[in-house]
């Protein structure tokens, strides 16, 4: 069954600004999908259509969640189906204590008291905040707030979780912790839709990428989309750093038919190459190497000029 079905979705803001044009896609149950695009592409606007906060300016049947059309009169039932984690966790943490924040949703869904307690405990455990029930939410660190916001959604036990820029403004440790939480949710079969500019996290989190720029300009597997450099650049996006690095290695003669997308993929690729090469990797410097390196980097950052820095023409 389709978890999310969007068909010919259009939305224009009251001031006349067109935010979404003929947006169509289907996300199946259990899929983990990254939604990427430049600022102003309509990503957050699309997210607000999924839980009924916004509605198409042309069709009330443009969005279906778990085979049911999103009905403005039944928005109060949406948290059971889809939970949205907003970019700013302070928008979701407003009660005196964190336990109250995590309990707020289930209580308003009419969940029994003992079941609410269980959900609060389990949700906090899942995000690494066990025993934080009596903490003041606004005294938490940035990373803890992000995880706490996820807990407030998990406590409602939705079948779909949508997240808006979950790794934004996090230090490396907090970012790694949050990515691990999302990977575990993905592994548990949750349907995830993740809005992000963090392209280096996408290979770890998503099997599929949708590129949105008011309309869908690309939709495919993570590798398919990141291999389409022209489309990505046109949308103001880049590919993961690891992929760029291995393309530079190719210019030095490194044998790599399929560019790795992640650090894990790079480790597998290097290990396989060393095993097949009797333990050695040979890189070569030729007259044309600098031109090839510049060509590789030029696809992503046109201001790079390795040859100029090295004294080569």
- Decide: 52 and 58 in contact? Cβ < 8 Å: no
Which pLDDT does position 232 carry in this prediction?
Answer: 84
Structural domain boundaries in the chain = 2-229, 241-310
Q: At residue 309, does pLDDT exceed 70?
A: no
pLDDT band at 285 (very low <50, low <70, confident <90, very high): low
Query: What's the pLDDT tens digit per position in 108-153?
Result: 999 999 999 999 999 999 999 999 999 999 899 999 999 999 999 9
Query: Contact 193/160 with Cβ under 8 angstroms?
Result: yes
Is residue 205 within 8 A of residue 32, CB to CB? The reply is: yes
Categorize the per-residue pLDDT at 294 as very low, low, confident or very high, splitting at 50, 70 and 90: low
- Nearest Cα neighbor of 84 from 190, 162, 3, 165 is 162
More reliable by pLDDT, 44 or 233: 44
Under a CB-based contact definition with an 8 Å cutoff, are residues 8 and 24 in contact? Answer: yes
The listed CATH number (3.40.50.720, 3.40.50.300, 3.30.70.2660, 3.30.360.30) that belongs to domain 2-229: 3.40.50.300
Share of the chain above pLDDT 90, in %: 62
């Amino acid at each position: 069954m389709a978890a999310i079905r969007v068909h010919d979705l259009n939305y224009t803001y009251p001031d006349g600004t067109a935010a979404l044009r003929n947006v169509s896609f289907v996300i199946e149950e259990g899929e983990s999908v990254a939604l990427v695009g430049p600022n102003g592409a309509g990503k957050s606007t699309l997210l607000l259509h999924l839980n009924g906060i916004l509605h198409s300016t042309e069709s009330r049947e443009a969005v279906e969640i778990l085979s049911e059309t999103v009905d403005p009169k039944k928005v109060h039932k949406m948290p059971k189906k889809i939970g949205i984690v907003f970019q700013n966790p302070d928008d979701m943490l407003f009660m005196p204590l964190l336990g109250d924040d995590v309990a707020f949703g289930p209580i308003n869904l009419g969940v029994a008291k003992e079941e609410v307690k269980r959900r609060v405990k389990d949700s906090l455990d899942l995000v690494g905040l066990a025993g934080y029930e009596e903490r003041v939410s606004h005294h938490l660190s940035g990373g803890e707030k992000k995880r706490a916001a996820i807990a407030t959604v998990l406590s409602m036990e939705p079948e779909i979780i949508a997240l808006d820029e979950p790794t934004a403004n996090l230090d490396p440790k907090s970012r790694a912790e949050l990515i691990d939480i999302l990977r575990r949710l993905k592994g548990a079969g949750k349907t995830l839709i993740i809005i992000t500019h963090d392209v280096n996290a996408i290979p770890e989190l998503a099997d599929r990428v949708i590129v949105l720029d008011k309309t869908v300009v690309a939709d495919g597997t993570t590798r398919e989309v990141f291999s389409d450099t022209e489309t990505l650049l046109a949308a103001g996006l880049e590919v993961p750093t690891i992929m760029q690095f291995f393309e530079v290695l190719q210019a030095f003669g490194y044998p790599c038919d399929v560019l790795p997308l992640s650090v894990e993929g790079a480790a597998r690729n290097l290990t396989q190459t060393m095993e097949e090469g009797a333990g050695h990797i040979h890189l070569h410097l030729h007259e044309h190497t600098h031109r090839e390196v510049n060509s590789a980097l030029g696809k992503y950052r046109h201001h790079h000029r390795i040859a100029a820095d090295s004294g080569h023409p």
